[in-house]
Structure 1
Amino acid sequence: MTADTGIGTIPVDLGAGVRAFFTTASGGVSPEPWARPGGSGLNLGLNVSDDAGRVRRNRALVGALLGGLPLAFATQVHSARAIPLGPEEHARWRTDTAPDTAGEGDALVTAERGLGLGVLVADCVPVLLADPGAGVVGVAHAGRKGTAAGVVLRALGSMAERGARPDRTRAVVGPAVCGRCYEVPEELRDEVAAVVPGAFAETAWGTPSLDLPAAVGAQLSGAGVDVTRVERCTLEDEEFFSHRRATARGTTTGRQAGIVALV
């Protein structure tokens, strides 16, 4: 928990000159259902019916944790598209009319120092990437479709185009719904596992499931990347927003984020 703002964060180490962390549901200015019961919420998603002004305020609070750096997000569509952000985009985000989105895609990559990248999730897998030596960072949103399509590998490819090397790249796989909880039909599990074998799993009660954090970690390790995993399940842990938990309760929820920047 960040004491001066009330914002919940999980700092992670991606090397010298890189600031990286995951947010939780705590802090911010959003009310329920985009908050934990009885508190305010740090909802960072613009597509979950929360007031856009509140979401922008929450994003500004997160940017303040980066020393006031501009913070870019994509409109995530469960694709494998990686969006590179260069000097022109950096200049746009430094204005008072910074855009809400970098466009449709599920990974962002930049070699621009002083531009934060964010990835939004509420059960899907947030991935933070950095090659500190090359000065390149990236984020990826790996849901079921994106994991099968190789979105994290596409992000690595975009980073390589900017000088990064997989053997120097560090990755953190963030909080997401775990394989013990992510129940799916057997046919769907088999379909995904045929492409990404590491996704094959069973729930704690013995039914078919997908372990997307494990699958993403295996993809990254297979590419030569040094991988760390935050072992927290968003469905089980009410410190986090969870789409599955909210749906079961007949309501909506917010979006937390993974954040990375060259500082």
Structure 2
Amino acid sequence: MSTYLKAASLDGIPHGFSSSRGLDVAEIIPGAPLVRIKQVHSSAVFAVTHAGEALPDGDALVTDRAGLALGIVTADCAPVLFADPVAGVIGAAHAGWRGALGGVLENTVAAMVSLGADPAGIVAAIGPTIAQASYEVDQAFRHAFAEEDARFFASGRAGHCQFDLPAYAAHRLQSAGVGQVEDLREDTYTQPVRFFSYRRATHRAQPTNGRQISIIGLPA
């Protein structure tokens, strides 16, 4: 059996954020089919009504159907799991900087609302993600963001700065009206024994295909 992380804010909702050891859907919600999507660093979100349906490429899924599990994979980007326990609506989003900047988190909230969720009743948990101290970016990256986003960038070496992806994701969630946001504060880059990191693997000239999986489900 794998070891995985849970968010206190999602207590009572079947979910888990894997380590590099992986995670089987049966550990989260036995007997449920796992629905995934081909992720492309977009802002596209799709509602799932049944297992096996053909889905376009995108980066987030939502459902109000019991007995389904939603999964997304990451290796530095932010995995975000959502639930409105009262409405019985869940979501899972892959939020890299492009997706977060493009609105994937707000779009996930909107898709949940279309299924009956209340933004104030939504809980969102941010799983293992590259932390600001590990995320050096150049000035071209910085200029892709608005001036008002300056607080998510810290000074770095000449011509560079450090980007706080989890804090930026939390800000976008709060701006969308999400009632509670939890950040597990686990840095993928600095924990090679626990997590895959695309950036760390690139820096070390190692294979970059390792991924964590994050899963959330609605029990039947």
CA separation in 1, counterparts of 2:25 and 2:15?
12
Gaps of 5+ in 2: none
1:148, 1:196 within 8 Å by CA — same for their partners in 2? no
Name the SS for the 1:120 alignment partner: strand
Q: Which residue of 1 aligns with 2:5?
A: 10
Greater length-normalized contact order (CA 8 Å, ≥ 6 residues apart) = 2
Aligned counterpart, 2:170:
217
The match for 1:237 among 166, 174, 191 is: 191
Aligned to 1:73: 36
The residue that corresponds to 2:25 in the other structure is 63
Which residue identity is paired with 1:107? Answer: A
Once residues 147 and 158 of structure 2 are traced to their aligned partners in structure 1, the CA distance between those partners, rounded to angstroms, is 23
**Count of residue correspondences:** 215
Q: 1:18 Cα shift? A: 1.7
SS in structure 2 at match of 1:232 = coil
- Residue 203 of structure 2 is matched in structure 1 by 248
- 1:193–1:199 CA contact under 8 A, matched in 2: no
- Partner of 2:171, secondary structure, is helix
Tell me, in whole angstroms, the C-alpha distance in 2 between the residues paired with 1:15 and 1:148.
25
TM-score by length of 1: 0.76
TM-score between the two structures when normalised by the length of structure 2: 0.90
> How far apart in 2 are the matches of 1:223 and 1:128?
15
Stretches of structure 1 that go unaligned for 5 or more consecutive residues are 27-41, 43-60, 94-100
5 Å matches for 1:168-247? 168-194=121-147, 196-197=149-150, 199-202=152-155, 207-225=160-178, 226-238=180-192, 239-247=194-202
Percent identity over the alignment?
Answer: 37
Q: How far apart in 2 are the matches of 1:149 and 1:229?
A: 20
**1:257 paired to 2:213:** yes
Contact 1:128 1:260 in 2 (8 A): yes
> 1:13, 1:19 within 8 Å by CA — same for their partners in 2?
no
- CA-based RMSD of the aligned residues comes to 2.2
Task: Say which is worse superposed, 69-78 or 185-194, in terms of deviation.
Answer: 185-194
Q: 1:150 to 1:237 in 2, by over 3 A?
A: same
